[in-house]
Structure 1
Amino acid sequence: MTDRGIALPALRHQLVAAVLTLAVPALHDPARDGFDPASLLTTLLTETCDATDPLPWLGHTLRTDEEAALTADLGTALHTLRTGLPADPTPADHLASPAWPTVTTTAARLARTLVTNDHLAH
């Protein structure tokens, strides 16, 4: 693993939190916790790593090429999800989408890698 380090640790924290939340949405009760997939999508597609083009984020919020590749996979899954949603989707629309299981599975793979790489970082 070539660890490029991270220049933006606060954004890395947001990235990890968003990915973990997508990976395990059942842990969040929309009525109690305010689970909002839209805010997670904003985090992943603009603020922390641009999942549609993650390579420029290496060394900023992403540590490795593997993280970038998995982030791109998540970006693809999110794009598929978004194209199948109504114009103003609710959290229930996200969770009921046939594309949602791919989002959670892909996010779980990325989450495992992000957390593992953080533990291995020097």
Structure 2
Amino acid sequence: MSDAARVLANHRVHVVPVVLALANPPWQRDVWLDPSAFEDLDHVFHTLFDDFCDADEPERYLGVSLRSDEEVVLMRELGAALNAAAAEVPHNTDAEYLRTSAWPEVVTIAGRLAQVMVANDLGELAALLGDSAVPDPCQIGRGTTGNSGERAGGDSDFDTASPQVGSVTSRKHP
């Protein structure tokens, strides 16, 4: 693995989970509003604006924590949405952020960015392992043991056809 690939992996291991958390309102309520939990919205802001990216100017993180121009564009949109939410909170609490009128937009953009980041990471994994090492999920039928289409127990007459899957389209800290 090259040094650049190692840096990218080391940054993404922090950025991707934070983006996934921003896309998941139940997680936000269950974890961020629990005072005993490690993760809170402050952690999210530090990850995306200070430590592993700069959501205000993400272009310089292309190849460092972001894999594609699409990720850069979505990260910039996410940064703007987080800044809009920050403008609405008087006391800078996580509960206030989750109640802002800007928060649904944060969740929506984070969901799109999460989808793109995960798809890009899976594509990179497939390239590293070779396409034959990663089964095509559309070819794995229910009740099968692998991508051969055989049922557990050796029944190879199982039809592996599956429905078509569409293509992926795509806080100011204290």
TM-score grouping bracket, smaller chain normalisation: 0.7 to 0.9
How many residues are aligned here? 118
Q: 1:79 aligns with which of 78, 83, 88?
A: 83
CA distance in 2, matches of 1:108, 1:14: 16
Name 1:21's counterpart in structure 2. 21
Name 1:101's counterpart in structure 2. 104
Q: Which has the higher helix share?
A: 1
Deviations 1:11-43 (A, max 9, x none): 211100110001003124122645521210111
Q: Is the 8 A contact 1:7 1:60 kept in 2?
A: yes
Q: Percent identity?
A: 37
Larger RCO of the pair (alpha carbons < 8 Å, separation 6+): 1
Q: 2:59 aligns with which of 55, 60, 84?
A: 55
Query: Quick one: structure 1 residues 119 and 103, their matched pair in 2 at CA, closer, same or farther if it must change by over 3 Å?
Result: same
TM-score by length of 1: 0.87
TM-score by length of 2: 0.63
CA distance in 2, matches of 1:67, 1:8: 13
Name 1:7's counterpart in structure 2. 7
Q: 2:74 aligns with which of 61, 70, 76?
A: 70
